[in-house]
Amino acid sequence: MNQRAYPVPSDQNHADNNSPSRLQSLVIITGMSGSGKRSIFKTFEDMGYFCVDNLPTALVPRLIEMTRASGGKIVKLAIVVDVRLRESIADFKRLFRDLKAETFRTTIIFVEATDEVLARRYSETRRIHPLAERQSLTEGIKAERRELSEIRALADLIVDTSDFSVHDLRNRIYEQFARETAEDKLNVSVVSFGFKHGIPYNADLVFDVRFLPNPHFVPELKDLTGNHQQVVEFMFNSQETKEILSKIEDMLEYLLPRYAKEGKSYLTISVGCTGGRHRSVMVANELARRLARDGRRINLIHRDIHAK
C-alpha cells in the first residue's frame, strides 16, 4: 500500500506564535458512527469555533493554512473526521502525529457508545450504518470498532455517550472546553425602561424597582435623570437601594455562567420604574458597572430616559 504524507505547514517562519491572530486551538472529532459526533460538532459551533464536517485528511493541512490567511478571523477550529471516507488508518495516525508537533493546541476527541446503544439509535432513525451495507448492523458496528481501535488509542479525550442525552453531551463538552471562556460569548444587555411605556419586548429578566424612593417627587431632582450625580446620591441614601442592588447582583452572578453554559448567546436584563428616567436608569447604570468588573461585555441602554 502506498503511504501518503500530509505535511502540516509550520509556523517556524512566522513571528509571534502567541499572537491572537494565529490559530490557537484545533479539535478533531472522530469515533463511532451514530455516537453523537454531530452533536459535539454543533456545540463547538456554539462556542465560536470555525467548524468543518467530514473533511478528508488530505485537506486538513490546507484548511490550517487558510486559517493563517484569515487575518485572525479563525483562531479556533473544529473538524469532524469520519470513517465513511474509507481512508487509511495509517494516514489518520500520520496526520495526528504531525498536528501534535504544531505550536497550536490539538485535541483529538473520540466519541463512542456501546454496541447495543448504537444499534438502537440506527434502528430508531432507519439510517444505514456505513459498514453495514453488505452485512448486518451488529456486524457493521463491530467491524467499525475494530477498525477504529488504533485511532481510539491516540485520543486525548474519549466520550462515551451511551447514557447521555443531547443536553448532557453538550454540557460535558462545555465543561471540558469552555469552563473559563463560555461566559465571554454571552452578549449581555442592561435596559432601563418605564412601565408606563411597556416592558421591552426582548426582556429575558425583568426587575421592578418602583418600590425605591422616587426622585420625581423631589423638586430639585424632578427634571434630572438617573445619570446625574445628584440623583445617584439621593438613591444611595436609601438602604433599600443598596440592598436591591446587592441581591440582584448576587442573582446575576449566579445566573450568567449558567446561561452561558447552556449556550445562550444573548441575555437582556430589564430594569423598570414608573417613567424610566430616574430609578431604573440609576440602578441599570450601577448593575452594568458591577457586571463589567470581570471583563464582561455589557450593552447599556436607557430606552425611555427622554420619554414624556
**Apex 113 CA angle, 110 and 117, nearest 5:** 155
Please write the tens of the pLDDT for every residue from 194-238: 999 999 888 999 999 999 999 999 999 999 999 999 999 999 999
Asked whether residue 105 falls in the same domain as residue 119, the answer is yes
The Cα–Cα gap between 303 and 284 comes to 11
Please write the tens of the pLDDT for every residue from 136-166: 888 989 988 988 888 888 888 889 998 888 8
Please write the tens of the pLDDT for every residue from 36-90: 998 999 999 988 899 998 888 888 888 988 887 877 788 899 999 875 556 677 7
For the record, the C-alpha cell of 40 comes out as: 459535539
pLDDT score of 18 more than 50: no
Asked whether residue 293 falls in the same domain as residue 238, the answer is yes
Confidence of residue 175 (pLDDT cuts 50, 70, 90): confident
Asked whether residue 153 falls in the same domain as residue 227, the answer is no
* Residue 78: CB atoms within 10 Å: 25
* Residue 133: CB atoms within 10 Å: 8
| Beta bridge partners of residue 207, listed in sequence order | 271
Q: Is residue 296 part of a domain?
A: yes
Q: Which stretches within 37-186 are classed as H helix?
A: 37-46, 60-68, 89-100, 115-125, 137-147, 149-154, 166-177
Instruction: Answer whether 172's CB lies under 8 Å from 164's CB.
Output: yes
Specify the length of the chain in residues. Answer: 308
Asked whether residue 164 falls in the same domain as residue 195, the answer is no
Q: Is residue 244 part of a domain?
A: yes
Asked whether residue 106 falls in the same domain as residue 224, the answer is no
Q: Which of 179, 204, 224 is the last residue of a domain?
A: 179
The Cα–Cα gap between 42 and 34 comes to 15
Q: Is residue 134 part of a domain?
A: yes
Asked whether residue 172 falls in the same domain as residue 190, the answer is no
| Cβ-based neighbours of 273, under 8 Å, separated by 6 or more | 192, 194, 195, 208, 209, 210, 212, 214, 279, 280
Per DSSP, the residues of 183-244 read GGG-EEEEEEEEGGG---TT-SEEEE-TTS--GGGSTTTTTS-TTSHHHHHHHHTSHHHHHH
Q: Is residue 4 part of a domain?
A: no
CATH value at residue 99: 3.40.50.300
Domain of residue 235, residue span: 184-302
Q: Which of 142, 161, 179 is the last residue of a domain?
A: 179
pTM value > 0.95:
no
Asked whether residue 33 falls in the same domain as residue 162, the answer is yes
As to burial, measured by CB atoms within 10 angstroms (0-12 exposed, 13-18 middle, 19+ buried), residue 211 is exposed
Q: Which of 152, 179, 206 is the last residue of a domain?
A: 179
The Cα–Cα gap between 29 and 38 comes to 9
Q: Is residue 79 part of a domain?
A: yes
Asked whether residue 194 falls in the same domain as residue 169, the answer is no
Q: Is residue 15 part of a domain?
A: no
Domain count, the chain: 2
Please write the tens of the pLDDT for every residue from 85-121: 566 777 888 888 888 888 888 889 999 999 999 998 8
Asked whether residue 281 falls in the same domain as residue 298, the answer is yes
Asked whether residue 48 falls in the same domain as residue 86, the answer is yes
Q: Is residue 307 part of a domain?
A: no
Q: Is residue 220 part of a domain?
A: yes
**Apex 213 CA angle, 210 and 217, nearest 5:** 100
Asked whether residue 73 falls in the same domain as residue 142, the answer is yes
Asked whether residue 117 falls in the same domain as residue 76, the answer is yes
